[in-house]
């Protein structure tokens, strides 16, 4: 398929148009309960963005990194301090600069990837998670010497207009996520993405083709951290509406890792599918618990069941479909397409027998 | 063979001097020297474990020899890395296939165009006009290589799903895409049937003839080697035991002994 605009094919543009109509027109008209925006749609967009960051470093470049939440924390606290101390930057400017600050951390903690790989790199990148959180806790300056431990995030003001309603915040998240997703897609499909995947699939051959391992890996870590940083800032300002280091603990990093793997390594749409699944699944389980069993099952048991099912699903996906739900979806579409010809083949072969 | 060549064989383009390589106590290569002339097809042969692949890995910078030097295009290269050699115009294929398995055939070949890609990731992200121009040039060149190697029908298939012979072809294609002046081929015909081998020979000679690319190949099939190469160097136990035209090598007693065995 030939791209018709930038790197997008006709099919991509149709998909994009459908998504845009859904998210800009259909959702705001039909969903009016605040709950959906504040607890599902906004965190979904934020975490999907962070998952794209994780995809770039893990799915595309093949570097087993675990510390997305650390970079998110860096982005969130950078945002808080920028709005506080450099108000002239404005919301969008601060968002970009906080992404860049997170990217600087990404470069720093991406450097071990040159020497260690696989599970050892995972341990090395884990350091970023703990270091960034420790740093924010240790130095009061980052929290503006607030003693309560939880700081309220400033209101979002873009071009003098406040964006404080859930719907307005949803649109802010949607706009940022859409732009960054399209940029990520351009990179992934262009020469940048080919370099990442070459390093992932066979680093020695990539180097023999003139792909610098140092530059490619560090670049992937930086871009990944940028995405996580921006996602973290949105997560804090639109979803949590407060800033506390505990919100960005190792559990969140694991959550993003699961979203990445379940969604499908090395796919951009997988980030959205994975994030949606992991966010919606507990909601669904709760709904089943409340409506089918009418609260007969204890809430703690439901959350344990959730963990069990996640664990099981991870194992099943690792064994049967390592490329995750995005690939599963492709396969289903493929089956639908081939279903009609294959059944006619069957018929003709049956008629030949008789 | 050598009559009426478009690119006349010239001066040495690659010189290997007194290379010694050992892994711990095992000596893979001992004090080996040979040269490769511009535009020639040069074969490295020898029994299993003679140090042929190690030799290529030294030239390409994957292994660092303890002694000796490699000169390329008249310059001695002190700290060889695969990247430096690629930038200087040396490309290679690998014995055990080193393709990017989850990428399509065309994408694999496009990675070979890396050194002809000057745009950075930001320009790619925003798809600036110069990115499109460059991408089109690279794609056109890659498509040319695809049709040259007669693999048009599989160009969108992930390489991991292809049979061995085709993967070898793709690897040659990727090396070609770099537009290097010299290509090292590590057993390009291993595991192929007669027909595939004949095809591969045809491609190697065609590349050499049409583009003037210097080819250095390691091969086991003596018939093939004698047919397509201009000069042959024979390694045994990490040492050069014969060097010359196929005819000279064929009549060299040491080579005959190494290949057929000799009573001690």
CATH of the domain at A180: 1.10.3470
B199 and B146 in one domain? no
B20 and B67 in one domain? yes
B6 located within any domain: yes
Range of the domain at B57: 1-89+180-264
Per-residue model confidence as pLDDT tens digits over A134-160 = 999 888 899 888 877 788 999 998 888
CA gap A293, A337 in Å, rounded: 39
A95 located within any domain: yes
Residues of B in Cβ contact (< 8 Å) with A213 = 83
Per-residue model confidence as pLDDT tens digits over A35-88 = 889 889 999 999 999 999 999 999 999 999 998 999 999 999 999 999 999 999
B120 located within any domain: yes
B19 located within any domain: yes
B214 and B240 in one domain? yes
B207 and B159 in one domain? no
**Which residue is closest to B177 within chain A, CA to CA?**
A209
Q: What's the per-residue H, E or C state across B121-166? A: HHHHHCCCHHHHHHHHHHHHHHHHHHHHCCCHHHCCCEHHHCCHHH
Whether the per-residue pLDDT at A348 is higher than 70: the answer is no
- Residue B121's Cα: distance from chain center in Å? 30
Q: Which residues contact B244 (CB under 8 A, 6 or more apart)?
A: B231, B232, B252
Per-residue model confidence as pLDDT tens digits over A161-217 = 899 899 999 999 999 999 999 999 999 999 999 999 999 999 999 999 999 999 999
Q: Chain A contact for B104, CB < 8 A?
A: no
Q: What is the pLDDT of residue B264?
A: 61
A3 located within any domain: no
CA gap B133, A33 in Å, rounded: 48
CA gap B129, B138 in Å, rounded: 14
Residues A13-27, mean pLDDT to the nearest whole number: 89
A13 located within any domain: no
Domain count along chain B: 2
CA gap A153, A135 in Å, rounded: 19
B121 and B47 in one domain? no
- Cβ separation B127–A6 shorter than 8 A: yes
CA gap A308, A254 in Å, rounded: 15
B162 and B113 in one domain? yes
B169 and B40 in one domain? no
- Residue that finishes a domain, picked among B177, B194, B215: B177
Per-residue model confidence as pLDDT tens digits over A302-335 = 888 888 888 888 888 888 888 888 888 888 888 8
A217 located within any domain: yes
**Which residue is closest to B176 within chain A, CA to CA?**
A209
Closest listed residue to residue B186, CA positions, set B218, B220, B229, B224: B218
A195 located within any domain: yes
pLDDT: which is higher, B230 or A285: B230
- Cβ separation A195–B126 shorter than 8 A: no
B57 located within any domain: yes
Task: Identify the helix (H) or strand (E) that includes residue A241.
Answer: none
B79 and B13 in one domain? yes
- Residue B77's Cα: distance from chain center in Å? 19
Q: Chain A contact for B174, CB < 8 A?
A: yes
B195 and B168 in one domain? no
A354 falls in which pLDDT band (50, 70, 90)? very low
Q: Which tokens belong to A43?
A: 């965190």
Given the DSSP bridges, would you call strands B26-37 and B239-244 parallel, antiparallel or unpaired?
unpaired
Q: What is the pLDDT of residue A291?
A: 82
A316 located within any domain: yes
Q: Chain A contact for B135, CB < 8 A?
A: yes
Q: What is the CA radius of gyration of chain A?
A: 22
Work out the minimum CA distance from A300 to partner chain B, whole angstroms: 42
Q: Chain B contact for A211, CB < 8 A?
A: yes
B80 and B189 in one domain? yes
A1 falls in which pLDDT band (50, 70, 90)? low
Q: Which residues numbered 136-165 in B keep a CB inside 8 Å of some CB on A?
A: 138
- Cβ separation A183–B125 shorter than 8 A: yes
Q: What is the pLDDT of residue B153?
A: 94
Q: What is the pLDDT of residue B2?
A: 47
B69 and B119 in one domain? no
In chain B, which stretches have pLDDT less than 50? 1-2
Q: Chain A contact for B262, CB < 8 A?
A: no
Domain count along chain A: 1
| Distance between start and end Cα atoms, chain A | 42
Nearest CB to A187 within list B86, B124, B178:
B124
- Residue that finishes a domain, picked among B142, B177, B212: B177
ipTM reported for the complex, 2 dp: 0.91
Q: Which of B87, B92, B100 to mutate to test the interface with A (most CBs of A within 10 A)?
A: B100
Per-residue model confidence as pLDDT tens digits over A318-327 = 888 888 888 8
Whether the per-residue pLDDT at A347 is higher than 80: the answer is no
A269 located within any domain: yes
A326 located within any domain: yes
B94 located within any domain: no
CA gap B78, B89 in Å, rounded: 16
B184 and B84 in one domain? yes
- Residue A145's Cα: distance from chain center in Å? 31
Range of the domain at A67: 31-338
Work out the minimum CA distance from B251 to partner chain A, whole angstroms: 36
């Amino acid at each position: 398929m030939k791209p018709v605009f930038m790197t997008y094919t006709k099919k991509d543009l149709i998909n994009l148009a459908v998504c845009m109509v859904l998210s800009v027109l259909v959702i705001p008209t039909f969903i009016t309960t605040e709950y959906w925006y504040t607890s599902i749609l906004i965190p979904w967009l934020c975490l999907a963005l962070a998952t794209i960051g994780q995809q770039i470093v893990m799915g595309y470049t093949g570097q087993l990194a675990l510390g997305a939440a650390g970079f998110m924390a860096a982005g969130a606290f950078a945002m808080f301090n920028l709005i506080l101390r450099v108000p002239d930057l404005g919301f969008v400017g601060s968002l970009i600069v906080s992404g860049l600050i997170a990217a600087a951390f990404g470069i720093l903690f991406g450097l071990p990837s040159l020497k260690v790989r696989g599970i050892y790199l995972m341990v090395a990148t884990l350091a970023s998670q703990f270091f960034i959180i420790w740093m924010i806790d240790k130095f009061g300056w980052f929290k503006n010497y607030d003693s309560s431990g939880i700081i309220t995030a400033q209101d979002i003001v873009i071009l003098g207009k406040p964006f404080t309603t859930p719907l307005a915040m949803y649109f802010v998240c949607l706009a940022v996520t859409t732009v960054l997703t399209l940029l990520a897609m351009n990179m992934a499909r262009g020469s940048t993405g080919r370099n990442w995947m070459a390093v992932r699939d066979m680093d020695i051959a990539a180097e023999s083709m003139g792909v610098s391992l140092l530059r490619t890996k560090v670049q992937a870590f930086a871009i990944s951290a940028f995405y996580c940083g921006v996602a973290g800032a949105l997560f804090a300002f639109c979803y949590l509406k407060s800033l506390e280091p505990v919100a960005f603990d190792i559990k969140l990093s694991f959550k993003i890792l699961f979203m990445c793997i379940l969604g499908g390594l090395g796919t951009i749409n997988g980030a959205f599918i994975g994030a949606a699944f992991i966010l919606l699944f507990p909601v669904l389980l709760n709904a089943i618990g409340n409506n089918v069993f009418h609260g007969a099952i204890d809430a703690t048991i439901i959350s344990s069941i959730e963990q069990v099912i996640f664990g099981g699903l991870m194992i099943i996906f690792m064994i049967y479909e390592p490329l995750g739900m995005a690939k599963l979806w492709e396969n289903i579409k493929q089956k639908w397409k081939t279903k009609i010809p294959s059944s006619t083949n069957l018929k003709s072969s049956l008629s030949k027998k008789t | 063979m050598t009559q009426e060549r478009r690119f006349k064989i010239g001066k040495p383009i690659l010189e290997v001097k007194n290379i010694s390589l050992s892994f711990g106590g095992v000596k893979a290569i001992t004090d080996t020297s040979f040269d490769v002339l511009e535009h020639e097809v040069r074969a490295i042969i020898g029994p299993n474990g003679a140090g042929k692949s190690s030799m290529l890995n030294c030239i390409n910078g994957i292994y660092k020899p303890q002694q000796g030097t490699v000169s390329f295009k008249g310059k001695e290269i002190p700290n060889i890395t695969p990247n430096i050699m690629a930038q200087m115009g040396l490309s290679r294929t690998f014995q055990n296939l080193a393709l990017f398995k989850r990428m399509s055939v065309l994408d694999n070949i496009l990675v070979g165009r890396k050194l002809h890609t000057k745009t950075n990731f930001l320009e790619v992200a925003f798809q600036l006009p110069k990115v499109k121009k460059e991408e089109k040039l690279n794609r056109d060149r890659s498509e040319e290589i695809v049709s040259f190697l007669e693999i048009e029908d599989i160009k969108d298939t992930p390489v991991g799903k292809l049979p061995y012979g085709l993967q070898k072809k793709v690897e040659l294609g990727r090396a070609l895409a770099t537009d290097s002046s010299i290509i090292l081929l590590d057993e390009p015909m291993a595991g192929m049937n007669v027909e595939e081998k004949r095809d591969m020979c045809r491609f190697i000679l065609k590349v050499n003839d049409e583009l003037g690319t210097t080819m250095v190949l390691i091969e086991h099939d003596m018939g093939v080697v004698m047919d397509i190469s201009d000069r042959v160097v024979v390694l045994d136990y990490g040492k050069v035991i014969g060097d010359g035209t196929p005819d000279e090598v064929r009549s060299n007693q040491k080579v005959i002994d190494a290949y057929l065995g000799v009573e001690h």
